[in-house]
Structure 1
Amino acid sequence: WSNCKMNFNVHPTDFDDQYSGERLTFIMVNGATVNTDCFPMVSGCNATAQRPMFSCLRDMSLDHLIDDSGELRIAAQISDVVDECPYQGNLLSAVPVVTCLVSPK
């Protein structure tokens, strides 16, 4: 594995920050915190307007976090005040995208 990069995109739910602190409090990869306090400042509460996903990580290098197995354990947490407008039933819905350059063995 080399030159591995990750994007972490979040579906807008209740991140309009109408009330203080509507954010992702952390994103972790393989036990290491890679981002804290991501404030999307977008809301998915308007059912008639589709909102684009918000990026909390873009092209973050994973080379120091990924081992030979290639396994990634990704975790994220939202603040307690994110409490409305779930996306497909989830107040936190995200799409991590990982790309790597892989050479034949």
Structure 2
Amino acid sequence: MYFTEKEKSNMAVLFSEISNTKKNDFIFFYSDDLIFSVKVENFFDSDNDEDFDSENYEEYNACVVQIKQILVDKNNKFKGIELFELNYRNFPRKIKTEDGRIILKEFV
């Protein structure tokens, strides 16, 4: 799978972890107010919904994330949401495996 420069510090790390360990259950930390237990599903190509011929068109890697449990959501932002598309634009700031090993920390 090819990763752009924007994706090498985030999506590529997650893809590599899943490829190497065959485990896809994680804890995603977006902030102190938003923490999920998730299962990462299929990786696929996605885009920003711009016209293909537009200079703003962008294609990138994404994956389906199933929210197994909302651990913290102080603003009820994800209440009722079971699946979402993850890409480099909405990547969590920290990811841990279910056994507590940090695979990505403080993505900016």
Task: Answer whether TM exceeds 0.5 for this pair.
Answer: no
Which of the pair is proportionally richer in helix?
2
Q: What TM-score comes out, normalization by structure 1 length?
A: 0.29
Larger Rg over CA atoms:
1
Q: Which has the higher contact order (CA 8 A, sep 6+)?
A: 1
